[in-house]
């Protein structure tokens, strides 16, 4: 049955004259709809108008060994999976990422195990995906040393619509990135006797998304006296096995860099080809040296001998020298030049979500969990 709701005639006009004018239109509309319905019944199908940016893809048989496409805002698909197509070319908007999941069983190295779990057309992502996973796991264990054969990993992640060597997508922070994005991770560690969890979440008003465990506690540690107050992620640590001498803070060009202690400028802009704009600062209390590399610029007033107070603006982060992405390299050394891990020798803290942010995080975790373990 077709119900038509007609607005009453304007106040002050007779209902008879109004109906007389609109009745032919109503009859034409009803006849047209009835004709379309009968034609649809004869052909066995009714045509529906589907928005041009929405594609309905038939589901393929589930392969437990391969990654499974997942609709980002739905339970595991049954019958069909809807994905938003990329915007028309020339709009400048980023392409829609593909959400995937894999179940990994540790057999050898983490990268080998991840590669074995990926479908053939995604194996080129194994190295990059492993690096992103390691950034989350390194705060709890070193997989190369602490991983055990048979450790289980569930991973939910995004890939852009291209191979790793030929794309750029826009992330929350703004700059183009060339790596997958992990949405959620569970690592069952036999050595620790527990499951390591990480969920990507961006609190309302926060400049970046961060990773939190199932209880809403930040996966990363934070330096109490950090040279940068706002950054997206620590992308390199001394403990991560890369033999890197400093801590890399992923942060956009132009982020304020502040003195983490009362100090004095020792050097400015040396070995520019590798270091880019750089400064070395002496900690007047401990005699330690702090080195800041890849700055946007080394301000002219930051000359050797200049005294600094803790919290003073020293420079702004950049992407100069031998650097592949915007970040701050922060290196701490003893008076005799031995490299120190700032997260091992300086006070640190953990950040916990609270209030409305915690409520929103819990909702996001409950949304991601069924997708993370789908097919187990």
Is 31 a domain residue?
A: no
Structural contact between residues 102 and 374, judged by C-beta atoms closer than 8 angstroms: no
Sequence length of the chain is 376
Quote the pLDDT of residue 192.
97
Is 12 a domain residue?
A: no
Question: Rounded to whole angstroms, how far apart are CA atoms 278 and 292?
Answer: 5
Same-domain status, 213 and 289: no
Question: Rounded to whole angstroms, how far apart are CA atoms 294 and 323?
Answer: 7
The 10s digit of each residue's pLDDT in 187-225 is 999 999 999 999 999 999 999 999 999 999 999 999 999
Report the pLDDT averaged over residues 250-269: 97
CATH code, 161: 3.10.450.350
Same-domain status, 205 and 250: no
Range of 73's domain?
A: 55-85+93-220+352-372
Same-domain status, 215 and 70: yes
Strand 277-283, strand 263-268: pairing:
antiparallel
Give 52-55's long-range contacts (Cβ < 8 A, gap of 24+).
53/84, 53/85, 53/87, 54/82, 54/84, 54/85, 55/82, 55/83, 55/85
The 10s digit of each residue's pLDDT in 265-278 is 999 999 999 999 99
Same-domain status, 198 and 265: no
Is 79 a domain residue?
A: yes
Candidate ranges 1-5, 22-26, 168-172, 363-367; pick with highest mean pLDDT: 363-367
Task: Note if the pTM is more than 0.75.
Answer: no
Is 30 a domain residue?
A: no
Is 275 a domain residue?
A: yes
Same-domain status, 257 and 319: yes
Is 182 a domain residue?
A: yes
Same-domain status, 333 and 361: no
Same-domain status, 211 and 359: yes
Confidence of residue 8 (pLDDT cuts 50, 70, 90): very low
Q: Is 13 exposed, middle or buried (0-12, 13-18, 19+ CB in 10 A)?
A: exposed
Number of independent structural domains in the chain:
2
Same-domain status, 186 and 239: no
Is 17 a domain residue?
A: no
Same-domain status, 164 and 247: no
Report the pLDDT averaged over residues 54-66: 33
Strand 313-317, strand 289-297: pairing:
antiparallel
Same-domain status, 210 and 260: no
261, pLDDT greater than 80: yes
Same-domain status, 259 and 157: no
CATH code, 261: 2.70.70.10
98, pLDDT greater than 90: no
Is 33 a domain residue?
A: no
- What's the whole-number average pLDDT of the chain? 78
Same-domain status, 188 and 321: no
């Amino acid at each position: 049955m077709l119900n038509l709701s007609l607005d009453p005639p304007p106040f002050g006009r007779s209902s008879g004259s109004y109906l007389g004018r609109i009745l032919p239109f109503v009859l034409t509309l009803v006849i047209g709809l009835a004709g379309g319905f009968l034609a649809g019944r004869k052909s066995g199908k009714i045509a529906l108008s589907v928005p041009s940016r929405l594609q309905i893809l038939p589901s393929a048989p589930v392969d437990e060994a391969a990654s499974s496409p997942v609709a980002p805002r739905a339970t595991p698909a049954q019958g069909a999976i809807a994905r938003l197509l990329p915007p028309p070319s020339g709009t400048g908007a980023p392409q829609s990422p593909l959400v995937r999941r894999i179940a990994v069983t540790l057999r050898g190295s983490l990268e080998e195990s991840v590669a074995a779990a990926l479908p053939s057309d995604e194996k080129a992502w194994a190295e990059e995906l492993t690096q992103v996973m390691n950034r989350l796991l390194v705060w709890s264990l070193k997989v190369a040393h602490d991983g055990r054969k048979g450790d289980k990993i569930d991973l939910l992640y995004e890939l852009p619509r291209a191979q790793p060597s030929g794309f750029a997508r826009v992330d929350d922070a703004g700059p183009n990135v060339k790596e997958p994005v992990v949405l959620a991770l569970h690592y069952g560690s036999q050595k620790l006797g527990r499951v390591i969890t990480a969920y990507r979440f961006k609190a309302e008003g926060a400049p970046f998304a961060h990773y939190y465990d199932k209880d809403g506690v930040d996966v990363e540690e934070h330096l109490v006296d950090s040279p940068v107050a706002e950054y997206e992620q620590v992308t390199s640590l001394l403990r991560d096995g890369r033999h890197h001498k400093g801590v890399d803070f992923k942060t956009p060009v132009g982020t304020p860099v502040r003195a983490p202690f009362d100090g004095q400028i020792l050097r400015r802009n040396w070995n520019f080809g590798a270091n880019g704009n750089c400064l070395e600062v002496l900690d007047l209390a401990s005699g330690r040296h702090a080195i800041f590399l890849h700055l946007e610029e080394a301000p002219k007033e930051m000359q050797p001998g200049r005294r600094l107070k803790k919290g003073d603006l020293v420079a702004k982060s950049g992407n100069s020298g031998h650097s592949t992405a915007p970040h701050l390299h922060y290196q701490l050394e003893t008076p005799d030049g031995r490299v120190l891990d700032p997260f091992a020798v300086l006070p640190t803290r953990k950040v916990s979500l609270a209030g409305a942010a915690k409520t929103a995080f819990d909702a996001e975790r409950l949304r991601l969990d069924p997708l993370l373990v789908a097919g187990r």
